[in-house]
Amino acid sequence: MADHLTEQEQIESLKRWWAENGKGIVTGVVLALVGYFGYQWWQGAERAKAEEASDLYQGFVEAVSANDGAPDNKQLTTAKNIGQQLKTDFAKRIYASQASLRLAALAAANNDLETAEKELQWVLDNADETALQLLAKRRLASVMAARGKPDEALKLLDGSVPSSFAALYAETRGDILLQKGDKDGARAAYQQALAQLLPEQASSAQLLRMKADNLGSAQPEAGVSEESSEKNTQPAQESDEQ
């Protein structure tokens, strides 16, 4: 009889425990299942999006690469349409930024600097990859300078950049300063670029030296020049007095 009561007590205890905790357990299991299958669905959706973006970009590359990189009007229109679709539907994926960079290069080659600036600004505003942002910023500075906005372009190049971009930014700064007529500033920028070249960028050294050498030696400051001139004339004056 005691054993029977013990079993009954255990059953009643289990019922009470289930009444108190059963709903929570069921809810937890359901949430876990929803989370698991939801994550699986999300992964599948992400893979599908990645594949769609990749396929679009492949079509874009084929269009801009036609005729050895000189697409005709029809191919260029196709590339622009695909590029716009990538920017609209997949703005945060690398394919969209890469497409904009290519479209900017094509626009600049056709002297459509306004379009080139817009494409590069889009990359700067939307790309998540630091390297793409830095590349777009450097190219945007060159385009802005070519459009007659050198001061804005120089401001865009302000600030520190990773060592892999330091020489490129310094060279671009030199090009813009030279455009403004600041030869001394340009020479200093080219020399800075030479000093910041990484070993794997050594192939750029010859061009940078040529740019710096073509500007000749730095001109002395006016005050220094006058002081030197006065010193050189003093012995002659003393000789005349004697």
Q: Give the per-residue pLDDT at 235.
A: 45
Q: What is the pLDDT of residues 90-112, one digit of tens each?
A: 999 999 999 999 999 999 999 99
Task: Estimate the crossing angle of helix 205-213 against helix 163-179, to 10 degrees.
Answer: 30
97: left (phi over 0), alpha (psi -120 to 50) or beta: alpha
**Quick check: 68 pLDDT over 90?**
no
- How does the average pLDDT of the chain come out, rounded? 83
Q: What is the mean pLDDT of residues 187-191?
A: 96
pTM, two decimal places: 0.72
Which stretch of 36-50, 62-76, 191-205 has the lowest confidence by average pLDDT?
Answer: 36-50
Residues 6+ apart with CB under 8 A from 75: 63, 64, 66, 67
Q: Give the per-residue pLDDT at 222.
A: 45
CA 149 to chain centre: 21
Q: Give the per-residue pLDDT at 66.
A: 85
Burial of residue 147, with CB atoms counted within 10 A of its CB: 0-12 exposed, 13-18 middle, 19 or more buried: middle
Q: What DSSP line would sit under 144-191, residue for residue? A: HHHTT-HHHHHHHT-S---HHHHHHHHHHHHHHHHHTT-HHHHHHHHH
Nearest CA-CA partner of 171 in 147, 145, 149: 145
Sequence ranges of the domains in the chain:
57-149, 159-215
Q: What is the mean pLDDT of residues 202-210?
A: 95
